[in-house]
Structure 1
Amino acid sequence: MNFSFYKTLLTVVSLSLSWMAQAQYKLSDDKATAATVKLYENLAKAQKKGYFIGHQDDLAYGVYWKYQEGRSDVKDIVKDYPAVYGWELGDLELGKPANLDGVPFDKMKQYIREGYERGGIITISWHANNPITGKNAWDASNTSIKNILPGGEHHSVFVGYLDKIAAFLSDLKGNNGEEIPVIWRPFHEHTGGWFWWGAKSASDEEYKELFRFSADYLRIQKGLHNLIMSYNTSTEFSTPEEFLARYPGDQYADMLSFDAYQRGNADQGEKFARQLDVLLTAMNKAADQHSKIPAIGEIGYNQIPDHRWFSHILLPILDKHTFSYVLFWRNAGFKPGNNEVEYYLPFKGHPSEKDFIKFYQNKKTLFEKEASKLKLYK
């Protein structure tokens, strides 16, 4: 028996299988920058290790502070930054200096660069104002998406919105002048009825057309090739077919995700955990069918009334599934406008602080130190 021959054959087969496993994840943009391609490939690979932990607006403010250099509510507790930084562009399209949550866009660019240079991942959402009524994203009245697509009465308004978005995204550059890769998550929670692009305002086909036109415009007309496109639903699904009802197609989406929040009293935790299990199962089946990377676009439990929520409700479900990242929503603190307090991750002194440290210590939760070691852009 020629053992050398069989050893060589096994090596070739092993390398072929490894290549096939990586090749199944291919960006929809065949002109994507090298760093964007690498990030996408490494997001796929890292799923074997665990899932990255993210936080919206993490570097801009926390429950009791704003715009303090190097500070983060996450870092205050675990001595590490989140691996994923979420940001929001709503109101940029109106030419305002700050987004709808009050974060100045010039500061946002600075924070994006800081997170990227440390090896973190950037994801950006867009609560676009209604281009037909001129009201905010939550104005779903008398809206027809056809009016903003080519040939529509308000098409030029919408194109103007996209031009401003493109200018911001194209200005995101690393220290060496390279374009910073971005997980672009527009028109999210579209299966709900609260946004002008949602299920009550736009048919499935109209939504698909909106997504496709926007992607084509940013890539082809504006030359942006640093975007990883994310198709992001709300919780109105329990099967892969329902999840994919508004899917724009493999050539327009790279990641699949959904947003899910626990509401009500702490005794609703087990119910939320069961729902989250169903959602992850259905989305992951859809991701397997289309060779796309799954993620949780937003998650949280405002004020975290259950002080063991991270270790007892979330971890048992998250650890059952394979996905790339989970993004916790923002620690806005007291909001004078509507007289409420909002935060989704603990801060120093919060009763769930110790539980979040347990969450951090879990072998599958990956924060920025882990992301940096993985060299996601190389």
Structure 2
Amino acid sequence: MKSKIYIAVLFALAATSACTITPAKELLLPTDKQATEETVHLYNHLLKQQQQGMMFGHQDDLAYGKGWIDEPGRSDVKEVCGDYPAVYGWELGHLELGNAYSLDSVYFDRIRDWILEAYERGGVNTISWHLRNPLTGGTAWDVSTPGVVASVLPGGEKHELYTQYLDHLADFLLSLKTDNGTYVPILFRPFHEHTGSWFWWGKDLCTPEEYKALWRFTQTYLRDTKNIHHLLYSYSTDRFKSQEKYLERYPGDDVIDLLGFDMYDRSPGYRDLLDKCAATVSRLAKEKGKIAAMTEAGGPIETDTEWWTVTILKTLKPYGLSYVLVWRNPTNKIWEAFAPYPGHPSEADFIQFYNDPETIFQQEATAAKLYN
């Protein structure tokens, strides 16, 4: 088995070679043709890297973990395997309200700091957004009233309010820049799990045409009205049973840069369905020239002590996904931890997962120089 250090060296050599012999004009452009240089490089690196290995991601990894909150340098993942994740997930729900902290009680100023920290060390940042229901004022999970999506589209009664939501989002996104003015590239993943009906943008709450229009308006507003050009746009379903269902609400190749799916291990037959979903997304991504990823996951890691190496790694290895991201580790809720911490029952299995040559953590991502 190749060591992690050896793999990191290979990534560094590949990155150096690519930068030396590949002129900028040969780089593929994402859907935003005015994307920043760093965003274009990340897009191209992720397209190539997914055929070499799968990055590991963790939600709120730097913000808190088992028994700690906001302690510099800490990470449950790092304390288990000695390395940070390669992908860092963040949540912006309640930003649209002008609040100081998110629905997960994390201050947005600190999220900004951690996004910059992850970028400076060469990691990848992805953002989700469980925005409030603009029609009822309820949470993102308020599905009491259909027609919310229609209400925020141009001509709808809540369109102006939705643009105000987007203005708050844009202000935050435009603040994600380094001291020298470089904007941090972001994998932006809104309106996720829409193949279910637990969010106000879900399948039973709007038509396919309305969902597509929501995506298109949002991207156009951020890109053209707010002049934001450091986003890669991620389309992310929940579990699905066919290619047709996966693409039923797909807003178009000119809108989406990454094809993803969310899927938690909560029912029998998970591995078989995971295999089928990963195969479909991987194939579609290759056909469309997109990045592929498992954008949100989690499993019974306290009782299934081979979940990392068997359920996730063995199942996903054949499909060339860019990354798999697991959800967060609430400070005081052991049963909801989605990544291991020291002493966790899945710690040994996770270390095997980490040591596999086809999993990519921060050291390899840093060596790959994803942004240049």
Task: Tell me the TM-score normalized by structure 2.
Answer: 0.91
In the alignment, structure 1 residue 183 sits paired with structure 2 residue 187? yes
Pairwise CA distance, 1:304: 3.1
Match of 1:350 in 2: 344
Point out which structure has higher relative CO (alpha carbons under 8 A, 6+ apart).
2
Match of 1:376 in 2: 370
Match of 2:151 in 1: 147
Match of 1:194 in 2: 198
In the alignment, structure 1 residue 301 sits paired with structure 2 residue 299? yes
Q: Provide the aligned C-alpha RMSD in A.
A: 1.7
In the alignment, structure 1 residue 329 sits paired with structure 2 residue 327? yes
Q: Percent identity?
A: 47
Pairwise CA distance, 1:186: 0.3
1:141 and 1:26 mapped to 2: Cα distance?
A: 40
Pairwise CA distance, 1:142: 1.4
Match of 2:353 in 1: 359
Q: Which runs of 5+ in 1 are unaligned?
A: 1-14
Pairwise CA distance, 1:321: 1.1
Amino acid across the alignment from 1:343:
A
2:300 and 2:129 mapped to 1: Cα distance?
A: 21
Match of 1:226 in 2: 230
2:242 and 2:185 mapped to 1: Cα distance?
A: 31
Match of 2:29 in 1: 26
Match of 1:112 among 102, 115, 118: 115
Match of 2:70 among 67, 71, 85: 67
Deviation by residue 1:189-223 (Cα, 9 ceiling, x = unmatched): 01100000000101111100000000000000000
Q: Which runs of 5+ in 2 are unaligned?
A: 1-17
Amino acid across the alignment from 1:375:
K
In the alignment, structure 1 residue 159 sits paired with structure 2 residue 163? yes
Q: Which secondary structure does the structure 1 equivalent of 2:109 belong to?
A: helix
Pairwise CA distance, 1:302: 4.7
1:55 and 1:85 in contact (8 A); partners too: yes
In the alignment, structure 1 residue 93 sits paired with structure 2 residue 96? yes
Match of 1:7 in 2: none
Task: Tell me the TM-score normalized by structure 1.
Answer: 0.89
Q: Which secondary structure does the structure 1 equivalent of 2:200 belong to?
A: coil
1:244 and 1:286 in contact (8 A); partners too: no
Pairwise CA distance, 1:58: 0.1
Match of 1:317 among 315, 318, 322: 315
In the alignment, structure 1 residue 50 sits paired with structure 2 residue 44? no
Match of 1:257 in 2: 260
1:302 and 1:342 in contact (8 A); partners too: no
1:290 and 1:138 mapped to 2: Cα distance?
A: 32
| Larger radius of gyration between Structure 1 and Structure 2 | 1
Structure 1 runs, 4 residues or longer, greater than 4 Å off:
22-25
Amino acid across the alignment from 1:195:
F
1:240 and 1:285 in contact (8 A); partners too: no
